[in-house]
């Protein structure tokens, strides 16, 4: 979980120019999505208390936040796929030798 949250925070910082504090909850949500998607135990995630700014958001703003979370998830998945393919190619080259 912590690795996925850190990667999410880095993407928010790099792509959206958001500080770690500003993106903390969103990074937590993306970490949950990554964990859930790849079969990692998600029992450690607690969504019982929504940050005040989310509780007070109108529907459009909330959808926008969900959209950025989905985009960050997609970027992480894309990077993971590229990394896995790169490692796969390196292993194949080693086996050919």
Residue ranges covered by each domain of the chain = 2-96
Work out the burial of residue 58: count CB atoms within 10 Å of its CB; fewer than 13 is exposed, 13-18 middle, 19 or more buried: exposed
pTM above 0.75, yes or no: yes
User: Tokens in use for 78?
Assistant: 């894309």
pLDDT of residue 97: 58
Mean pLDDT by 10 residues, the chain (97 residues): 88 92 94 92 92 92 95 91 77 65
């Amino acid at each position: 979980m912590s690795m996925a949250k850190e990667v999410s925070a880095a993407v928010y910082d790099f792509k959206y120019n958001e500080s770690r504090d500003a993106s903390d909850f969103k990074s937590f949500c993306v970490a949950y999505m990554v964990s859930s998607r790849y079969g990692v135990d998600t029992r450690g995630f607690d969504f019982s208390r929504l940050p005040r700014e989310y509780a007070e958001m109108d529907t459009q703003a909330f959808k926008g936040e969900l959209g950025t979370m989905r985009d960050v998830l997609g970027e992480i998945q894309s990077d993971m796929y590229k990394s896995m393919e790169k490692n796969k190619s390196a292993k194949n080259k080693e086996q050919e030798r």
